[in-house]
Structure 1
């Protein structure tokens, strides 16, 4: 067997092991969500429920407060993703089309910023928002979501813009179109898959955010689903474990669904610049 073949087999084995590592807790969560309260006490003694039920999901989805939490999470995530894309478009276009000194350093700096955990800036961020009287306001969370998602969006959109032939823009410029007209009428329509991918990824990242809304939003009615589940988990008992598991599954379902349905579009947008020409 060749070395390349052996390397491929080892790679697939490692990926399968990694998939199993993450799939087992998810499968256990599904098992808990399908149990009756009596079967919860069996713990690991029975992985597959003898009488699986969807009553836990019905209980969760019939709770008006839970639906409000879902709406809050969707609202904040979508608005933050839209802001991230709006901020990233001019920056990505400049890095793609304008040859300026330090362009590579700018891109690397954006990537470095993306690697900073929100936990690092949490205390000064809280004090700053408090000074601006923006605590307990959706706009504060949306602004932070937009700032955190912008670096990744810039990288994704730059790839999308790089894949668009410059000749199209040059032809429009010869016809007298301004840089803004070229961007709005030619570049952005052609880069729609990349823009959609950047928005989706930013939105999914925002959906999983916990620290930012947990610190900036104190009112129960303003919490997104991630914060609401955390607070519910703090008061959960053995008799309500199955409800917590059902709530967690419902919370992760939007992100999983988006990736499953739109994975081809996201991957195509990510590799568009690499296969240009």
Structure 2
């Protein structure tokens, strides 16, 4: 009974902390929705009319049919998916090695990979720009995708390693008895069983890449190649007080896919983050 009461108190405390935090992040989204469904005349009412009298969805249609907006969405999706897929391809073999092999310095190497994740992109942006210029990859989606892959590898290695740790090693041993070599075991046994973790790592990378701004902003100047994050920034620069509702609609269109993806797939993502935490 005492344990049940302690659990209830713990749940109440969790909600008391979580509700204000959720409100802090939800208020800007709700305000964005309010602006996005207003008519041009109601924009000037500001906070005095939080709920519009004549809500409209015409702003979204005007943005989507505007010059190049669908192209920006397509570019953002293309770069996000290719970057996530490339990071997964590179990280999976490394994660398998960290999960299955015992070697000197394994812990230090894992911490080194995590330390790379902590380095801000601003620190290496100038040398990275010069390096990509030397490779001839400026103004190309290939160059931006390569950077996305490099940025995503550290986190992906950790996530996929957790997924591999959750696969019993006895299955690898059984595959070896059946005559599989190490690569065949990795490809035919471990990868399929760790598919939920791989999918979660892929989804997280897509979400992170979708929100990337600095890299494509520096590497791409041709507006036909911009992803939605850069296009929104430039769109905001040309926005006036009378077109604020269009900017709000454009921002909402840009953020909704990532929010929906996380909400719909949160169980899969959380399972990937906790996979391998308890073994036995």
| TM, length-normalised to structure 2 | 0.95
The match for 2:43 is 40
Shift of 1:67: 0.1
Question: Partners of 2:183 and 2:209 in 1: how far apart?
Answer: 29
Give the alignment's Cα RMSD to 1 decimal: 1.5
Equivalent of residue 52 in structure 2, options 46, 49, 52: 49
Instruction: Provide, for residues 90-141 of structure 1, a one-character-per-residue CA deviation record: whole Å limited to 9, x for no partner.
Output: 1100000000111111111111111222111111111111111110011110
Question: Partners of 1:177 and 1:5 in 2: how far apart?
Answer: 51
Question: Partners of 1:7 and 1:67 in 2: how far apart?
Answer: 47
The match for 2:165 is 162
Shift of 1:20: 0.7
Question: Partners of 1:207 and 1:258 in 2: how far apart?
Answer: 11
The match for 1:78 is 81
Name the SS for the 1:42 alignment partner.
helix
Shift of 1:56: 0.3
Question: Partners of 1:4 and 1:265 in 2: how far apart?
Answer: 25
Do residues 184 (structure 1) and 198 (structure 2) align?
Answer: no
Equivalent of residue 178 in structure 2, options 175, 178, 188: 175
Question: Partners of 1:266 and 1:3 in 2: how far apart?
Answer: 28
Question: Partners of 2:173 and 2:20 in 1: how far apart?
Answer: 50
Equivalent of residue 17 in structure 2, options 14, 20, 23: 14
Name the SS for the 1:153 alignment partner.
helix
Shift of 1:5: 6.3
Question: Partners of 1:6 and 1:117 in 2: how far apart?
Answer: 39
The match for 1:194 is 197
Structure 2 stretches lacking a partner, 5+ long: none
The match for 1:106 is 109
- Which has the higher mean CA deviation after the structures are superposed, 224-233 or 55-64? 55-64
Instruction: Provide, for residues 176-210 of structure 1, a one-character-per-residue CA deviation record: whole Å limited to 9, x for no partner.
Output: 21111111111111111011000000111000000
Do residues 262 (structure 1) and 265 (structure 2) align?
Answer: yes
Shift of 1:157: 0.5
Equivalent of residue 236 in structure 1, options 230, 236, 239: 239
Name the SS for the 2:273 alignment partner.
helix
Instruction: Provide, for residues 236-258 of structure 1, a one-character-per-residue CA deviation record: whole Å limited to 9, x for no partner.
Output: 00111000000001001111111
- Which has the higher mean CA deviation after the structures are superposed, 165-174 or 266-275? 266-275
Question: Partners of 2:239 and 2:60 in 1: how far apart?
Answer: 16
Question: Partners of 1:45 and 1:265 in 2: how far apart?
Answer: 41
| TM, length-normalised to structure 1 | 0.96
Name the SS for the 1:93 alignment partner.
helix
Equivalent of residue 220 in structure 2, options 217, 220, 224: 217
- Which has the higher mean CA deviation after the structures are superposed, 58-67 or 146-155? 58-67
